[in-house]
Amino acid sequence: MVISPSAVGTTGRSRAHVIEMHLDTLYQVSQVLSCSSGLQEILSGVLHVLHESSDMRCGMVSLLDPGSGELMVGAAHTGTREKVEKVRYRPGEGLMGAILKEGDTVMVGRIADEPRFLDRMGLYAPDLPFVGVPIRVGEDNPIGVLAAQPSCGDDGLLEERARFLEMVANLLAQTVRRAWDLEQERRALTDERDRLRRQVRGGYHLDNVVGHSKEMRRVFEQVRQVAKWHTTVLVRGETGTGKELIANAIHYNSPRANGHFVKLNCAALPDNLLESELFGHERGAFTGAVSQRKGRFEQADGGTIFLDEIGEISQAFQAKLLRVLQEGEFERVGGTRTLKVDVRVIAATNRPLEEDVERGDFREDLYYRLNVMPIFVPALRNRSEDIPDLARFLVDKLAKAQGRPLDITDSAIRTLMRHEWPGNVRELENCLERAAIMSETGTIDLDAINLTGLEDKLPLGRKPEPEVEVDLDDPDLDERERVIAALERAGWVQAKAARLLGMTPRQIAYRIQTLKIRVRQF
């Protein structure tokens, strides 16, 4: 190969030798970029390769800060491990700021002769050349600057080194843009997760749980107390009373609120599937186990697991569950390695576990392990004073689901209060949903309630009781209830109801307006 004299520098290196070295360095740079490390590690790795494998030393990458619009040093390499100083350049400030603003490559034969060079990092030798190139994605404005210093004086190959550094910058540009996009997506997902977490936690705050009766106030106080600690809770009550809602309130008002809340209905699965569902399984543990699977306890690690219908599990499985509750340890199905988890257990049942223990259907030691803190959710028939608020809450919920305004009259609510609701809140919600469907105007009145067949849902052999006439002079009756009772006795004729209460028609009309009583239209 014939080499022209101009291609030979003071160091004796030929253009061919430099090109070969640059090609080898580009290969090593591509390997660094293909790794799955974070952006900081990638930038440091690329600068390390430039420093060790090419004659471009003291590399520095500065990236644009989208928030301030300034150039911030992201990584630098001098051959030793040192912390990068937080140096910034405004667009047009110094040599680095000029490259960012103008978007052009800068080559300097001797850096000490460049008046724009600020030397804030103290990286570069003043008597050696300097090359700085913009990091650009496509035709867009630069997103950063890559700079380095050749290890030798001007040998006539500064342009080749600048083109080489431009190729490295092009490779870096795509990586930086991908990293920024991933970071933006991560932040968006994190913000969305936090928003949903706040929304869920707010939805299960005790202030949003409907009920002001003495029985429910006692339940709320128990939830507030037990939520502070990690103790096991057994929520008891009839079907449809809202045991899962109480479990949610305990979790989302506890220190574990940021952890997972995992739910499982124990009555929905047979023992063999229940064990796999709770404890997970290893690959090949049984037919169909084509891969390893984490169980619900592993998924809930650091959070809470809610085991509904705990009274329905078999005695064989009760022994396996007891170990987890006592020691926090278990093995996956088909596995031999013991796993340890930190999980709070909330169980729920509608069964009389004490009777099951006496008959030998439920292990006594498991019963005591679960029954550390029992919370009894009262049946709806035992807190009928909560029905008005519950009914209005459920009607608002139905209005959102149906996408139309819905309301309920006071006469309809009084009819609901006379029912015993053997299915509790769930039955009340179903009744109101049927009534909403039957209401064309969006007002759930007494006729809409009657169309649901509410009286047909009474227990077998029980006839509907006649409505008891309310004593208008009862001192325990508040003003709203007294006005509603008078209106019902008067057939919702306001003038007649006014006479019953010793008021003028104008006075009772004012009471109806201020007390927000929904007058039934005939």
User: Could you report the per-residue pLDDT of 258-310, keeping only the tens digit for each?
Assistant: 889 999 999 888 877 888 889 988 888 777 777 888 889 999 999 999 999 99
Please indicate whether residue 361 or residue 121 has the higher confidence score (pLDDT): 361
Measured CA to CA, the distance from residue 91 to residue 96 in angstroms comes to 8
For residues 235-247, b (16+ Cβ closer than 10 Å) or e, as one string?
bbbbebbbbebbb
CATH of domain 381-451: 1.10.8.60
- In this structure, of 453-462, 475-484, 504-513, the range with the lowest mean pLDDT score is 453-462
pLDDT digits (tens, 9 = 90+) for 211-256: 788 888 899 999 999 999 999 999 999 999 989 989 999 998 899 9
pTM over 0.75: no
Q: Given pLDDT bands bounded at 50, 70 and 90, which one contains residue 11?
A: very low
Assign domain 15-182 to a CATH class. alpha beta
What is the enclosing helix (H) or strand (E) of 408? strand 407-408
* Alpha-helical regions (H) of 152-213: 158-203
Question: At 368, which amino acid appears?
Answer: Y
- In this structure, of 237-246, 489-498, 501-510, the range with the lowest mean pLDDT score is 489-498
Please indicate whether residue 195 or residue 184 has the higher confidence score (pLDDT): 184
Whether the per-residue pLDDT at 188 is higher than 50: the answer is yes
Check if CATH label 3.40.50.300 holds for domain 206-378. yes
Mean pLDDT of 175-202: 75
Predicted pLDDT of residue 463: 46
Whether the per-residue pLDDT at 4 is higher than 50: the answer is no
DSSP summary character for residue 332: -
Predicted pLDDT of residue 347: 95
End-to-end CA distance of the chain: 108
Tokens at 185, concatenated: 């997506």
Based on its alpha-carbon atoms, the radius of gyration of the chain, rounded to whole angstroms, reads 38
- The helices-and-strands tally (H runs, E runs) of the chain is 18, 17
